[in-house]
């Protein structure tokens, strides 16, 4: 029987699993682009990052859980930003988004983004954006399918 995957708010007891998925995302970013080479002790930093986010008023984390296996298989983290000069003023930014490779292509990513949109809207956000390294063409296809369009550019120059 196919297992059911449900999306819910992350809790304290999920810190280890969520941090593991976020560490995988950062390692992947490093493989895609040398400007995103992960720092050492990635897992420890990810645990601290997740724990801080759970205690923050300006961020939230949702997880996708395989209920039969009792396993967290996907995560999305969103930050709320006050765009002081613009309307709509509150922007939701997807800062971290990862589905375990064994669970991809099953519309779990879509479900996570849809639930994140609902939660962001309920918290007053008027638009949602996503940030990821330039070379991630899977994310390009995914977000395009989800109706996202380019909003602004971030240029860089090594120093
Ligand atoms: C991006 C990611 C989260 C997508 O998760 P997923 O659960 O496999 O995606 P879904 O099954 O919900 O796919 C949703 C849509 O995106 C499209 N899509 C997903 N993966 C795709 C791929 N590899 N190539 C092309 N299109 C893709 C699907 O066709 C689908 O469209 P549809 O629903 O209209 O048919 C997943 O590939 C992942 O974790 N990648 C590594 C981390 C990453 O790149 N994160 C994003 C930037 S932070």
Among 73, 135, 138, 140, the mutation site with the greatest number of ligand 1 atoms within 8 A of its Cβ is 138
147 Cβ below 6 A of ligand 1: no
Domain ranges, ordered by start, for the chain: 5-145
Mean pLDDT of 6-21: 98
Percent of the chain with pLDDT over 90: 95
Percent of the chain with pLDDT over 70: 99
pTM: 0.97
61 Cβ below 6 A of ligand 1: no
What is the topology classification, in CATH, of domain 5-145? Aminopeptidase (3.40.630)
In the block, tokens 């819910």 appear at 8
Q: How far is the CA of 91 from the centre of ligand 1 (A)?
A: 22
């Amino acid at each position: 029987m196919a297992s059911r995957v449900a999306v819910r708010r992350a809790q304290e007891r999920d810190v280890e699993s969520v941090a593991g998925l976020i560490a995988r995302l950062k390692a992947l970013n490093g493989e895609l682009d040398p400007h995103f080479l992960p720092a050492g002790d990635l897992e420890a930093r990810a645990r601290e990052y997740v724990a801080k986010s759970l205690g923050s008023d300006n961020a939230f984390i949702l997880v996708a859980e395989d209920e039969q296996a009792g396993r967290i298989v996907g995560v999305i983290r969103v930050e709320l930003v006050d765009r002081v000069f613009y309307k709509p003023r509150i922007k939701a930014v997807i800062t971290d988004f990862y589905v375990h490779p064994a669970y991809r292509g099953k519309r779990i990513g879509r479900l996570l983004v849809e639930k994140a949109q609902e939660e962001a809207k309920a918290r007053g956000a008027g638009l949602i954006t996503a940030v990821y390294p330039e070379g991630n063409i899977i994310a390009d296809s995914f977000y395009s399918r989800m109706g996202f369009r380019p909003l602004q550019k971030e240029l860089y120059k090594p120093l």
